[in-house]
Amino acid sequence: MKTVVQKWGNSLGIRIPSLYVKEFNLKNGNSVEITEENGNIIIVPPKKNLEEMLSRVTKDNLHSPVETGSSIGNEDW
């Protein structure tokens, strides 16, 4: 997919097409990693970590426990 390099202040910027914004769940203000590999510019979306995901849990979106029955093997409950 092609996009255009445009002047943005004293820098240059590119627009990320909405297809990729949706696919990688990008939001305004997200940080991305930009690297060079074999003459190509690689843009890596942010990786989710456990701390970030848990910070989004609230009492309003927390589901109730799911009972799965008694242990069958060597599970430690």
CA 10 remoteness from chain centre = 28
Terminal alpha carbon distance of the chain? 50
In a domain, 31, yes or no: yes
In a domain, residue 61? The reply is no
pLDDT tens track for 44-56: 988 878 988 899 8
* pLDDT single digits (tens) 32-46: 999 999 999 999 988
Quick one: which of 39, 18, 42, 37 has its CA closest to 28?
A: 18
Q: Is residue 76 a part of any domain in this protein? A: no
24 located within any domain: yes
Count of domains forming the chain: 1
Specify the CATH number for the domain of residue 14: 2.10.260.10
**CA atoms 5, 6, 7, 9: torsion sign:** negative
Select the more confidently predicted residue: 72 or 57: 57
**Is 75 part of a structural domain of the chain?**
no
Contact 26, 16 (CB under 8 A): yes
pLDDT at position 7: 95
Has residue 77 got a pLDDT over 70? no
| Per-residue pLDDT tens over the stretch 1-32 | 889 999 999 999 999 999 999 998 899 999 99
Which tokens sit at 41? Answer: 């510019």
Whole domain around residue 44: which residue ranges? 5-55
Indicate whether 36 belongs to any domain.
yes
